Amino acid sequence: MDNPHIREMADAASASAEAGTLVYRQSAWTRLTHWVWAISLFFLLLSGLQIFNAHPTLYIGDQSGFGFDNEILAIRAENTPEGPVGYTRVFGQRFDTSGVLGLSWVGDTPVGRGFPAWATIPSYQDLATGRVVHFFFAWILVVTLLVWLAASLANGHLRRDLAPQLQDLRRLPGDIASHVRLRFHHAREYNTPQKLAYGGVLFILLPLMILTGLAMSPTMNAAIPFLADALGGRQTARTIHFAAMLLLVGFFIIHMLMILAAGPINELRSIVTGWYRTDPPIDGETNSGRSA
């Protein structure tokens, strides 16, 4: 006999399977550190560009000046018969970057500065304030990263969720192909590109930013003089610091694009509330197996 109640329950179960399962994906600690890092990196970037504007040139080696030929990047402005122009010189090759780098406008007034006013904190040229803001958020980032690392080792989050396994590496080509085609399978765990990207940021880029930042500090040079030498000199450390910043900005852009492509509501709900809607399992996998 056809039981309407049983049929209704079966239909609900089927609909739930098609829609996927709502799982608790991000712990409160993960969400808290994520937003602390996001805020810290925002202020570090804009205050760092303020500091860079005080001398918008990068070198390789320990020293710089007229007696050295070790420049790899310079952002400048100059007056020409046609008017002021801004330019960027990379490994000796010059590019016109008027309006963005070297020369930008404040209202109707052209201003010669490395990065424009909208890209720095504060917007006007103020090295002292930029350094205060930069160091304040740098220490917040360092302390939060160390506490996160200790907690992740203790609760198994690092081993369970971030460390790539052999099967992850075997799936890497397929995962990359799926991402290129913007085909995502949402599950509880991170997929291989995510693990590699997050691991690269947390264990390579951020530590490199911290070490190179310390190597540029006169106080730390006195305390641990070998650090700058190990990185190729203070000017090389500054260049590495700048390059790592560019890689972090690139990571952020790709991260935002992936969130938009994978479903921004679901992704944002996960990092705000912890709850994440997974897709139905495929190829015999459970909902704890893969993610976008």
Q: How many CA atoms lie within 13 A of 4 on its CB side?
A: 0
Which of helix, strand or coil describes residue 211?
Answer: helix
The ranges assigned to domains in the chain are 19-55+120-292, 57-114
Distances (CA, A) of 97 to 45, 88, 102, 274: 20, 6, 7, 43
What pLDDT is recorded for position 29? 87
What pLDDT is recorded for position 283? 56
The whole-model pTM stands at: 0.85
Amino acid identity of 270? S
Q: Which two tokens mark 81?
A: 């018969």
How far apart are the C-alpha atoms of 195 and 168, rounded to whole Å?
9
Q: How many residues does the chain have?
A: 292
Nearest to 23 by CA among 274, 286, 268, 272: 274
Nearest to 195 by CA among 177, 168, 217: 168
- Please name the CATH architecture into which domain 19-55+120-292 falls: Up-down Bundle (1.20)
Bridge-based pairing state of the strands 102-106 and 71-80: unpaired
What pLDDT is recorded for position 290? 42
Q: Tens-of-pLDDT digits for all 292 residues of the chain? A: 445 444 444 444 444 444 568 999 888 888 999 999 999 999 999 999 999 999 999 999 877 665 668 899 999 999 999 899 999 999 999 999 999 999 999 888 899 999 999 999 999 999 999 999 999 999 999 999 999 999 899 888 888 889 999 998 999 999 899 888 888 888 888 999 999 999 999 999 999 999 999 999 888 888 888 999 999 999 999 999 999 999 999 999 999 999 999 899 999 999 999 999 998 876 545 444 444 3
Burial 227-242 (b: 16+ CB within 10 A, else e): bbeebebbbbbbbbbb
CB 190 within 8 A of CB 258: no
